[in-house]
DNA sequence: TAACCAGATGATAATTATTACCATCTAGGA
DNA sequence: TCCTAGATGGTAATAATTATCATCTGGTTA
């Protein structure tokens, strides 16, 4: 039974721990410890919902009614950058379509967002014949492997070894 | 080596096969076989890029310069509904944040989009110690299990057994 | 084949999520 | 306490997607 829902009772202790370390982590990341940032990470740590920015903003405003939605967006992005939060998927900016119906998964470059198909028969085997997961009825799955593609990896390496630090933007197909 | 890039040489044959069956599949789904739909699925089948609607539209317009972007969006959605295409992730509408940094994955209800944490130590083992994948440098991963939650599953069952067919919308946190 | 019409399309407006701006504020160091 | 780089709030701008609606057409029927 190597596939199960995470026990939600662990959350309060985990959240308390993380919150206690938060100010220190901000300083380590060169960030000011502002009341907004504290309020936002508190809401995030206490939630099991994997909330959107607007929901987090609404929750934060119960205590700090003045907080701006823009600040919530910025802060969440910042938290992800210093590794204090993550996004459920990094492919949330726009819909990406796939005509390949054979069971497969994807590698995604975290810089340029290029995507390639991969096969993981082992994974498919783990999930096959598994139709229940707690209160959920399983229908399918999709693994997203986070990676650096060759081009982006090369650029990162060059930058690190003293190459010209030319900044790079997310790849947008055709604009 | 149970984890590898899909061989791209298979694509042309696969695309040809799917295209040949396409008209038939449309009829089976009760859809008209329009030149726009054919052009769109062609582009999608020929692409390894997992393209966005705008990129697909641009490609289609090389042959049919009149096609509307709205039609491309609608058609892609339709193709997903009849199972002729899929989205790389179903969580593309907005960013969902997670404060839980322990390695874990997610079950997502395809109807209301609620998300819960799951653990799959076996999967983590498959990926651990795997740092290269073709030309990609692996950094991490995230599995998205598609499912029906208890509430949505119950509603679907009730509808099927003759309950009042009340339509249901995607859950939007707080609006 | 011609006439018909439900469903499909194109053009455009509206909506939603996110980011950009910029004037003002403040955390944290001197 | 004073100073300033960085943070915030309010709002405009951008980008992706959906809604609307007048017009068109694939596929069925006579
Ligand atoms: Mn794919
Ligand atoms: Mn999670
Ligand atoms: Zn890349
Ligand atoms: Zn649900």
Question: Residue B159: pLDDT band by 50, 70, 90 thresholds?
Answer: low
- Cβ separation A145–B144 shorter than 8 A: no
Question: For residue B9, what is the DSSP state?
Answer: G
Task: Give the predicted TM-score (pTM) of the model.
Answer: 0.90
Enumerate the domain spans of chain A.
4-174
- Residues of chain A with Cβ-Cβ distance to B6 below 8 Å are 100, 104, 116-119
> Which of B6, B54, B84 is opposite residue A173, by nearest beta carbon?
B54
Nearest CA in chain A to B2: A120
The first and second tokens of residue B4, run together, are: 């590898």
Distance, in Å, from the CA atom of A34 to the CA atom of A115, rounded to the nearest integer, reads 37
| Separation of A31 CA and D6 C1' (Å) | 8
The yes-or-no verdict on residue B160 having pLDDT over 70 is: no
Minimum CA–C1' distance nucleotide for B66: C10
The first and second tokens of residue B69, run together, are: 């972007």
Nucleotides of C under 7 A from a protein CB: 7-13, 16-21, 26-29
Distance, in Å, from the CA atom of B170 to the CA atom of B96, rounded to the nearest integer, reads 15
Distance, in Å, from the CA atom of B116 to the CA atom of B139, rounded to the nearest integer, reads 23
| Separation of A137 CA and D25 C1' (Å) | 42
| Separation of B40 CA and D9 C1' (Å) | 44
- Residues of chain B with Cβ-Cβ distance to A19 below 8 Å are none
Phi, psi of B64 (to 5 degrees): -130, 80
Mutation site for B-interface testing, chosen from A100, A160, A170 by largest number of B Cβ within 10 Å:
A100
The yes-or-no verdict on residue B172 having pLDDT over 50 is: no
Return the pLDDT at A13.
98
Minimum CA–C1' distance nucleotide for A32: C27
- Residues of chain A with Cβ-Cβ distance to B140 below 8 Å are 145-146
- Cβ separation A2–B121 shorter than 8 A: yes
- Distance in Å, CA A126 to ligand 2 centroid: 20
- Cβ separation B97–A49 shorter than 8 A: no
Question: Residue B2: pLDDT band by 50, 70, 90 thresholds?
Answer: confident
- Distance in Å, CA A104 to ligand 1 centroid: 6
Nearest CA in chain B to A49: B115
- Residues of chain A with Cβ-Cβ distance to B101 below 8 Å are 18, 83-86
Return the pLDDT at B165.
40
The yes-or-no verdict on residue B163 having pLDDT over 70 is: no
Fold observed for domain A4-174: Arc Repressor Mutant, subunit A (1.10.10)
Return the pLDDT at B166.
39
- Distance in Å, CA A140 to ligand 1 centroid: 14
8 A C-beta contact, residue A133 and residue B145: yes
Give CA separation, A175 vs A22, A26, A79, A107, in Å: 40, 37, 30, 24
Phi, psi of A7 (to 5 degrees): -70, 120
The yes-or-no verdict on residue B170 having pLDDT over 50 is: no
The first and second tokens of residue A58, run together, are: 């609404």
Is the CB atom of residue A73 positioned under 7 angstroms from any atom of strand C? yes
What is the tens place of the pLDDT at every residue in A126-171? 898 889 999 999 999 999 999 999 999 877 776 666 544 444 434 4
- Residues of chain B with Cβ-Cβ distance to A150 below 8 Å are 135-136
What is the tens place of the pLDDT at every residue in A70-123? 999 999 999 999 999 999 999 999 999 999 999 999 999 999 999 999 999 989
Distance, in Å, from the CA atom of B172 to the CA atom of B175, rounded to the nearest integer, reads 7
Minimum CA–C1' distance nucleotide for B87: D17
């Amino acid at each position: 039974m190597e596939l199960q829902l995470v026990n939600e009772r662990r959350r309060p202790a985990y959240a308390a721990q993380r919150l206690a370390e938060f100010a220190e982590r901000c300083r380590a990341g060169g960030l000011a410890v502002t009341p907004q940032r504290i309020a936002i990470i508190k809401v995030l740590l206490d939630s099991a919902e994997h909330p959107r920015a607007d929901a987090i903003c609404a929750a934060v405003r119960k205590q700090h009614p003045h907080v701006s939605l823009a600040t919530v967006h910025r802060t969440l992005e910042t938290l992800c950058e210093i590794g204090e939060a993550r996004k459920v998927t990094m492919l949330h900016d726009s819909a990406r379509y796939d005509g390949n119906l054979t069971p497969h998964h994807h590698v995604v470059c975290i810089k340029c967002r290029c995507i390639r198909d991969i096969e993981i028969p082992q994974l498919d085997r783990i999930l096959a014949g598994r139709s229940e997961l707690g209160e959920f009825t399983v229908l399918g799955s999709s693994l997203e492997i986070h990676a650096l593609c060759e081009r982006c990896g090369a650029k990162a390496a060059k930058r690190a070894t003293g190459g010209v630090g030319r900044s790079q933007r997310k790849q947008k197909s055709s604009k």
